[in-house]
């Protein structure tokens, strides 16, 4: 066992949790309670070194273009240039959601993403993980509230719908080992350089496969459990029944838990019949917006013009969506013509209405399953926890609070605020409040108690 491994296993105080989100990645750090003090829990500013719009978020994006690999916001910026010949790679965490994980990771990236045909899906995920780990190490060194041994913290990662006993989690642990080897070898080049040369990345990946590092992975934590634990991290009471609604970029996940145990042994136990993943998330709104703008182009526009416009829209879609929900209107320009979409236009669009109906149907189905369990147990209330970037959207808030006839007057429903009291009343409320649903998984994953099957040590 290496010296670092022994330090981590025999009592390192600190723990980090990495959430490789579909839209943005986040990392939070937790110090275990000691000397009568409660645990320290806070997100790390991993986005502060590369010009990300928010210091706590790093865009989950890569671009393989003309012999260079770009990461994060640099990838999205490079993809917006006219001379870019490759498609932006996003939502790559979903490579791990395949039925056969090993086969999925062994596949080459699409030619439209990697025209060189040099890299596999595993390579992309390993390189991006190395990028996030490199940012994490820098953020830890920059954070004055962390002690000197925080840099050898145990690591956790958040996993979505695949179970903790499956091959996927073992694969992720191995990816972290290989990513750590790349961080050690390339050092600041992953962060300081605007991009990484194909040949440098390929050689480093090959060496990491044959001689991996020590990724310090303690465990994987189920995302929905992490979101719940985050909301109740410093609460004196844990609700008896909880339904988590986690709307991310690529999927919307539902999971439910019942309170189990007493006193210090209290924990959340999953109700498996209420677990569900809907293959629709915030990206679906992006797709609807793009289609609405394309429909506004003149019928006589050449196909090449429409393709170029579509490409620009795909890169800007998330930004357009944020502007639309924040200001009620967004604009795009093609061939000198300014096009406008208002929020009411989106709400009237058939594609959006179909998406909203699917979302509501899945929510009502999962809520009904939880209600049956709660009624059988004689409970009086079900608590709903909103998580993920989509939880902030007004139509989602309305849906969660108005579940229709599902309750039938038999049960109270309490929809928790997007921001729990321990954040809202803290010193960082102004900075963390607007993005808290996106941070909840990494925060909760860092502080959550482990189930025995989740630990890798």
| pLDDT tens sequence across 250-309 | 889 898 999 887 766 667 788 989 888 888 999 999 999 999 999 999 888 888 888 889
Q: Block means of pLDDT (10 residues each) for the chain, length 457 residues?
A: 37 80 92 61 92 93 96 94 90 77 91 96 96 94 76 84 63 93 92 94 97 91 86 81 91 89 73 88 94 91 88 89 95 92 97 96 93 92 91 92 65 86 67 85 86 43
Sign of the dihedral defined by the CA atoms of residues 126, 130, 131, 132, in that order: positive
Instruction: Mark 443-457 as b/e (b = at least 16 C-beta within 10 Å).
Output: bbbbbbeebeebebe
CA 104 to chain centre: 20
Which phi and psi (to 5°) does residue 387 adopt? -145, 165
pLDDT of residue 408: 56
Q: Whole-angstrom Cα distance, residue 57 to residue 435?
A: 9
What are the residues whose beta carbons fall under 8 Å from the beta carbon of 304, sequence distance 6 or more?
none
pLDDT of residue 112: 94
| pLDDT tens sequence across 337-370 | 899 999 999 999 999 999 999 999 999 999 999 9
pLDDT of residue 80: 87
Q: Whole-angstrom Cα distance, residue 294 to residue 286?
A: 12
Q: Domain residues of the chain, as ranges?
A: 3-220+449-454, 237-419
CATH architecture assigned to 237-419: 2-Layer Sandwich (3.30)
Secondary structure (3-state) at 2:
coil
* Fold category of 3-220+449-454 in CATH: Nucleotidyltransferase; domain 5 (3.30.420)
Q: Whole-angstrom Cα distance, residue 429 to residue 427?
A: 6
Exposed, middle or buried, 298 (CB in 10 Å: 0-12/13-18/19+)? exposed
Q: What's this model's pTM, rounded to 2 decimal places?
A: 0.86
Q: Whole-angstrom Cα distance, residue 410 to residue 380?
A: 8
Exposed, middle or buried, 376 (CB in 10 Å: 0-12/13-18/19+)? exposed
Please determine whether the domains at 3-220+449-454 and 237-419 fall in the same fold group of CATH.
yes
pLDDT of residue 33: 56
Q: Are 34 and 13 in contact (CB under 8 A)?
A: yes
Q: Are 394 and 325 in contact (CB under 8 A)?
A: yes
pLDDT of residue 356: 96
């Amino acid at each position: 066992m290496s010296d670092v491994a022994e330090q981590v296993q025999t009592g390192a105080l600190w723990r980090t949790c990495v959430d490789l989100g579909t839209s943005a990645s986040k990392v939070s750090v937790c110090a275990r309670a000691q000397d009568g003090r409660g645990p320290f829990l806070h997100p790390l500013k991993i986005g502060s070194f590369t010009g990300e719009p928010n210091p706590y978020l790093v865009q989950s994006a890569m671009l393989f273009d003309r012999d260079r690999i770009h990461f994060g916001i640099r990838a999205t910026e490079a993809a917006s240039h006219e001379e870019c010949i490759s498609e932006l790679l996003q939502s790559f965490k979903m490579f791990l959601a395949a039925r056969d994980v090993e086969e999925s990771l062994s596949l080459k990236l699409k030619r439209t993403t990697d025209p060189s045909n040099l890299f596999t899906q595993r390579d992309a995920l390993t390189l991006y993980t190395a990028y996030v780990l490199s940012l994490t190490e820098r953020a830890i060194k920059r954070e004055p509230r962390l002690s000197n041994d925080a840099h050898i913290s145990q690591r956790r990662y958040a996993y979505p719908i695949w179970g903790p006993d499956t091959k996927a989690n073992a694969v992720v642990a191995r990816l972290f080992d290989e990513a750590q080897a790349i961080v050690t070898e390339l050092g600041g080049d992953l962060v300081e350089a605007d991009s990484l040369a194909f040949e440098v990345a390929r050689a480093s990946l090959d060496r990491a496969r044959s001689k991996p590092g020590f990724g310090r992975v303690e465990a994987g934590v189920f995302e929905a459990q992490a979101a719940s634990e985050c909301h109740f991290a410093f609460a004196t009471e844990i609700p008896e029944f909880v339904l988590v609604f986690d709307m991310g970029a690529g999927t919307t996940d539902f999971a439910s838990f019942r309170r189990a145990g007493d006193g210090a042994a209290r924990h959340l136990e999953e109700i498996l019949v209420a677990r569900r993943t809907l293959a629709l998330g915030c990206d679906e709104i992006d797709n609807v917006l793009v289609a609405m703008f394309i429909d506004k182009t003149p019928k006589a526009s050449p196909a090449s013009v429409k393709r170029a416009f579509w490409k620009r829209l795909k890169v800007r879609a998330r930004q357009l969506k944020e502007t639309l929900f924040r200001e009620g209107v967004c604009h795009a320009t093609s061939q000198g013509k300014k096009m406008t979409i208002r929020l009411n236009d989106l709400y009237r669009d058939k594609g959006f209405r179909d998406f909203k109906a699917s979302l509501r149907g899945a929510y009502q189905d999962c809520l009904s399953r939880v209600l049956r369990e709660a009624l059988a147990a004689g409970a009086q209330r079900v608590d709903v926890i909103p998580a993920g970037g989509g939880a902030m959207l007004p139509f989602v808030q309305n849906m969660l609070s108005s579940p229709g006839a599902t309750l039938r007057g038999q049960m109270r429903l309490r929809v928790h605020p997007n921001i729990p009291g321990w954040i809202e009343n803290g010193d960082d409320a102004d900075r963390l409040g607007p993005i808290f649903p996106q941070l909840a998984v990494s925060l909760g994953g860092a502080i959550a108690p482990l189930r025995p099957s989740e630990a890798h040590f």
